[in-house]
Amino acid sequence: MEMPPLQYLEPKKKTGLVVVITGNGKGKTTSALGMCVRATGYGMKVSIIQFMKGDMYSGELDGIKRLAPNVELNLMGKGFCGIMGNPYPYKEHRANAQEAVKLAKERILSGKYDIVILDEINNACHLKLVDLPQVMEILDLKPPLMHLVLTGRNAAQEVIDRADTVSEVREIKHAYRQGIEPQKGIDY
């Protein structure tokens, strides 16, 4: 059976969106990476800046390399501050997050990217690795046609209020809580 030709949608007015993906459930970064894959299908350029990840290998590191040159991944963090035996002092986590803020501003203002994903920025803000006024300034810098995606738990209400789309990922059940270790390709 032959498939009918695919239809292509084109908005009457293009708008750069602010998308927030927050909540305690699994899948916030995965959702953002799904947008990245979709955007790559349209030839769009994406910059991903990870505010907290960076001390542990994840399959997304090599997976994203396969999307080059349209996608770049910037590991700016030193892992999850204060959990999972992370050995780095708070001061180092904050310094790295501040470098990530600088890079985010550069990428946003460069005019080279259609989408900038700030992975775990909400959590970094909640932990005071970045300050809420810095996050709000990043939102102010966003060009009208660029999409900006902010992930991580505990999104500030001010960020939620500014966003065009907000999704909350809610945990209903998680294998880890049942004593099952994280699984390659699913959890990392």
Residue 184 has pLDDT above 90, yes or no: no
Average pLDDT of the chain, as a whole number:
93
pTM of this structure: 0.92
Let me know if residue 90 belongs to a domain.
yes
What is the Cα gyration radius of the chain?
17
Domain count, the chain: 1
Let me know if residue 35 belongs to a domain.
yes
pLDDT at residue 82, as a whole number = 67
Let me know if residue 126 belongs to a domain.
yes
Question: Which residues are within 8 A (CB) of 3 and not within 5 positions of it... i.e. 6 or more apart?
Answer: none
The DSSP code for 167 is: E
Closest CA to 121 of 141, 103, 144, 145: 103
Let me know if residue 47 belongs to a domain.
yes
pLDDT at residue 128, as a whole number = 96
List of E strands, the chain: 18-22, 46-50, 71-75, 115-119, 147-151, 165-168
- The helix (run of H) or strand (run of E) holding residue 29 is helix 28-41
Let me know if residue 30 belongs to a domain.
yes
Let me know if residue 9 belongs to a domain.
no
Let me know if residue 64 belongs to a domain.
yes
Which comes out higher in pLDDT, residue 128 or 86? 128
Share of the chain above pLDDT 70, in %: 97
Let me know if residue 144 belongs to a domain.
yes
CATH code at position 147 = 3.40.50.300
Closest CA to 58 of 75, 43, 81: 75
pLDDT at residue 83, as a whole number = 66
- The helix (run of H) or strand (run of E) holding residue 92 is helix 90-110
Q: Sorting pLDDT into bands at 50, 70 and 90, what band is 8?
A: confident
pLDDT (tens digit per residue) in 105-134:
999 999 999 999 999 999 999 999 999 999
Look up the domain containing 146 and give its range.
18-169
